[in-house]
Amino acid sequence: MLAATTQPSAPAPAAPLPSPRAMYRALLGRDPSYQGVFVAGIVTTGIFCRPTCRAKKPRPENVRYFPSVGEALHDGFRPCRLCRPLERVEGPPPVVAQLLELAEADPGRRLRDADLAALGIDPSTARRRFKAATGMTFQAYQRARRLGLALRQVRRGRPVIEAQLDVGYESGSGFRAAFTRLFGQAPAGARRTACLTAQRIATPLGTMLALADEEGLRLLEFVDRRGLERELQGLRRRLRCAVVPGRHATLDAAAEWLERYFAGQPPGPDLPLAPVGSPFQRAVWRALREIPAGQTRGYAELARAIGRPGASRAVGRANGANALAIVIPCHRVVGADGALTGYGGGLWRKQRLLDLERAASPGACV
């Protein structure tokens, strides 16, 4: 997954980077555990690299560090042709993957620093790298995961006390307080609480946040999109739901869909989509899905396609309100002159998506 800030649904500010000395040491040693923590911009060449790049290393004063490829691109650096930081999906650093496996093996258990140390995991390293990779601390992830499990149990009719004990809370008052802070109401009222499951998905163009419930995929956005926090708050308000990290079949399907998409392969079966919007917006989003991969349409063309030829501006607003990036391909909409227009994930991503689709084999990127 994952989510961020005190409410797991909102993206946290970028986690502080390790010290320049630590990052330079990782760059010199090609340390794979720093994958996803930073990319290095080389001032003398204007390129940026993965921590594991095999290229000759610059002097420390000629390196700038960024928490994401997007920030490196925005600062004018171009991707390295040797390590190709944009072209392969990288999983989380090994220590983060190990922590997630431990948490999922027994979601009701609370792993403390002493437990991590007994497993040979340095707690301070684990804290720093988990937050850098997921946007939240490991403790916050475990807490939200356990409370999410409790919510599901209570909604299915399990007695509150049994759900409380199953997820490792010995104190009833502590459980009620934590539950109420996260979901906005006490456990006794949880049967009326809707819930979205959240997961972060790594892609070659940056990490995406995905939210789903039993209706389908509700949100898929790049985590550095401007206004994402406001978008999440609006979604939670409209659905009157809580958001918790965890596993969900639709999120697993979305991750597989994206992996195939970025590999230039046919993504496979349609994902169950459940966008939240007005009838007009949903009509525009359906029209977006009719645009063939690698092709583009103007706003006026879309307006005619939905039978509203005078509604180009409204179509543009609906296009911008799309919360399911890539799977509802708003990146295939351009200006009347064919020029790229605004895209929430950044124009550089819009161009990369179109380039990928045009280069893919027939039938891919549908």
CATH number at residue 28: 3.40.10.10
Distance CA 238, CA 215 (A): 14
pLDDT at position 90 over 70: no
Query: 283 versus 363: which is more confidently predicted?
Result: 283
Of the residues 53, 195, 330, 365, only one is catalytic, namely 330
Q: Are residues 177 and 208 in the same domain?
A: no
Which of 121-135, 138-152, 180-194, 322-336 has the largest mean confidence? 322-336
Q: Are residues 41 and 108 in the same domain?
A: no
With beta carbons less than 8 A apart as the criterion, state whether 297 and 334 touch. Answer: yes
- What pLDDT does residue 87 have? 63
pLDDT at position 286 over 80: yes
- Residue 108 is assigned to a structural domain of this protein: yes
Name the domain count of the chain.
3
- What pLDDT does residue 28 have? 92
Q: Are residues 110 and 165 in the same domain?
A: yes
Q: Which structure tokens are listed for 126?
A: 């684990």
Lowest average pLDDT, out of 24-38, 78-92, 180-194, goes to 180-194
Of the residues 49, 53, 83, 195, only one is catalytic, namely 49
* Range of the structural domain that residue 231 is part of: 196-247
- Residue 331 is assigned to a structural domain of this protein: no
Q: Are residues 145 and 171 in the same domain?
A: yes
Distance CA 366, CA 362 (A): 9
- Residue 142 is assigned to a structural domain of this protein: yes
- Residue 38 is assigned to a structural domain of this protein: yes
241 included as an active-site residue: no
Q: Are residues 102 and 183 in the same domain?
A: yes
pLDDT tens, position by position, 201-216: 888 888 889 999 989 9
pLDDT tens, position by position, 41-75: 999 999 999 998 989 999 999 999 998 887 888 78
Q: Are residues 223 and 182 in the same domain?
A: no
Lowest average pLDDT, out of 157-166, 217-226, 247-256, goes to 157-166
Q: Which structure tokens are listed for 312?
A: 């180009």
Query: 188 versus 24: which is more confidently predicted?
Result: 24
80 included as an active-site residue: no
- Element housing 105 (H / E): helix 94-105
- Using alpha carbons, list the distances in angstroms from residue 92 to 71, 228, 285, 349: 19, 22, 32, 21
Across the chain, mean pLDDT equals 82
pLDDT at position 9 over 50: no
* Domain end point (choices 79, 112, 129): 79
| Nearest CA-CA partner of 325 in 234, 261, 238 | 261
- Residue 64 is assigned to a structural domain of this protein: yes
pLDDT tens, position by position, 231-276: 888 888 888 777 877 788 999 999 999 999 988 888 877 899 999 9
| Nearest CA-CA partner of 1 in 182, 196, 201 | 201
For the chain, how are helix, strand and coil distributed in percent, rounded to 5? 45, 15, 40
With beta carbons less than 8 A apart as the criterion, state whether 287 and 302 touch. Answer: yes
- Residue 352 is assigned to a structural domain of this protein: no
Place 12 in a pLDDT band, splitting at 50, 70 and 90. Answer: very low
Q: Are residues 67 and 103 in the same domain?
A: no
Contacts of 169 (CB under 8 A, 6+ apart): 146, 150, 175, 178
Distance CA 54, CA 183 (A): 47
Contacts of 261 (CB under 8 A, 6+ apart): 267, 326, 364, 365
Q: Are residues 110 and 161 in the same domain?
A: yes
Handedness of CA 316, 303, 272, 150 (dihedral sign): positive
